[in-house]
Amino acid sequence: MGMPKPSSIVNSRAKKRIDFAFICGIMKKKLREKRKIKMLTMEGLKNLVEKNMPWAIETRRALHKIPETGFQEVKTRKLISEKLSEIGCEFKEENGWITAFIKGGKPGPITGIRADFDALPVTEPEGCPFRSEHEGWMHACGHDMHTAILLTAGKIANEIRDDLPGGLKLLFQPAEESIGGAKPMVEGGVMENPTVDRVYGLHVMPRLVTGNVETRPNTLNASTDTISITVKGTSSHGAYPENGADAIVCAAQIITALQSIVARNVSPLESAVITIGKIEGGRASNIICDEVRMKGTLRTANKALREMMMKRISDISNMIASGMGCTAEAEVSEGYSALVNTPAHADRILDIASELFGKENALVKDAPSMGGEDFSYFLDKAPGAFFHVGCSPDKDHIGAPLHSELFNPDENCMRVGVLMELMLAVKE
């Protein structure tokens, strides 16, 4: 067997060098991609959020100056549109709401994130350098922050869109505080074209401190329904009650009996509230009243309980009225449905919060809130979850509650909100 030719040895060595270089190139590429993913999900995102915080704060303060409400948010919509144009994000405005879509460069789910942008009929006190310019109106529930947080998350997502899986749909909602903007938005098709695979929303919360993120699986907020009861009796002279049927006395009996529904028809382990908050009736101090009108609220944590209580309200009102010689018309108008988080997505929020801010800041709410939240309508269309972001500086300085004229959230909480929304969009 003869010796190999020198040219064969050279070619073999060259091939080995090429193979080695090729393998090294693949390994380096994978390492770069791994580092890129790490940068995108953690340190890189944190740096991008920090870089954009001045823009976020400026946007929030501009929104705070122009509070509006109930599908009348003309200046607010204009500002949101201007900001979306500024960041180079295509958007659509219709029927009082705004949507925008950022298409990702990688395959993955479409993430929807909602921010409400209406305000409250509250007079803001003097002293704030960016105080409301609309007297009698104030962003006393943090919706200016919700909107600025989502705009900032959208700004950053647009910058990193090549590495964004699927895409991010920004859902800017009017009228959360009044007639409810979520339902017409969902009915108008905002969760389609493209179809949202998962949906999230947040609310700043002054009972929690900056850095806290709170949610819970299943029911987070109760349904909110309006009770209307009209009792009709027979009028007579106040000195001769036997000649009439007193609608006021009958209404008082109904109000008392309605409380027995919660006490005796609802399990102590369930959450439910019946409150009669308004009553009108009577014409004079010496006339037996012939008509009383009452209004109240019904709050429940699940659909079956809601339906049972609606029926009991009607039954009790009619039976008591009949027994007292009166008639009663009881109607329960359905409001927001209960907000029920998808357990897997509530867990996802808590996992991301633990990763970003430590386990001590990822809080599981112990019981549902009896307050309403119309984000529930988005959850009727896609799995997802709603969560709270603390907005008080620290435990020794817990701020005024939501809807108070003294509400003054810590702007540092916006970092938390932006990071959470970005991570929810970026992580598959």
Residue 212: which of 87, 350, 31, 10 has the closest Cα?
Answer: 350
Tokens 């009915």 found at:
187
Sequence-distant (≥ 6) Cβ neighbours of residue 5 within 8 angstroms: none
Q: Indicate the angle between helix axes 43-64 and 143-159, nearest 10 degrees.
A: 140
Q: Going by C-beta distance under 8 Å and a sequence separation of 6 or more, which residues neighbour residue 121?
A: 69, 136, 137
| Alpha-carbon gap, residue 157 to 310, rounded angstroms | 45
d(CA 139, CA 408): 10
Q: Are 406 and 397 within 8 A, CB to CB?
A: no
How far is Cα of residue 242 from the mean position of the Cα atoms in its chain? 54
The closest alpha carbon to 76, from 60, 92, 57, 91, belongs to: 60
Q: Which contiguous run of DSSP H or E holds residue 421?
A: helix 413-426
Amino acid identity for residue 373 in this structure: E
Number of residues in the chain:
428
Per-residue tokens: 121: 């009929």
Q: How many CA atoms lie within 13 A of 38 on its CB side?
A: 6
Separation of alpha carbons 382 and 242, rounded Å: 59
Angle between helices 413-426 and 43-64 (to 10 degrees): 120
Structure tokens at 343: 């357990």
Active-site residue, from 177, 336, 373, 377? 336
What is the secondary structure of 308-361 as a DSSP string?
HHHHHHHHHHHHHHHHTT-EEEEEEE--SPPEEE-HHHHHHHHHHHHHHH-GGG
199 vs 215: CA distance, rounded Å: 14
- 347 burial (CB, 10 Å; 0-12 / 13-18 / 19+) is middle
* Residue 411 among the catalytic residues: yes
- At residue 109's C-alpha, the angle toward residues 106 and 111, to 5°, is 110
Across 251-344, where does the E strand assignment appear? 272-281, 287-288, 291-300, 327-333, 339-341
Vertex 80 angle, CA 115 and 171, to 5°: 30
Catalytic residue among 93, 270, 355, 411: 411
Instruction: List the catalytic residues.
Output: 336, 411
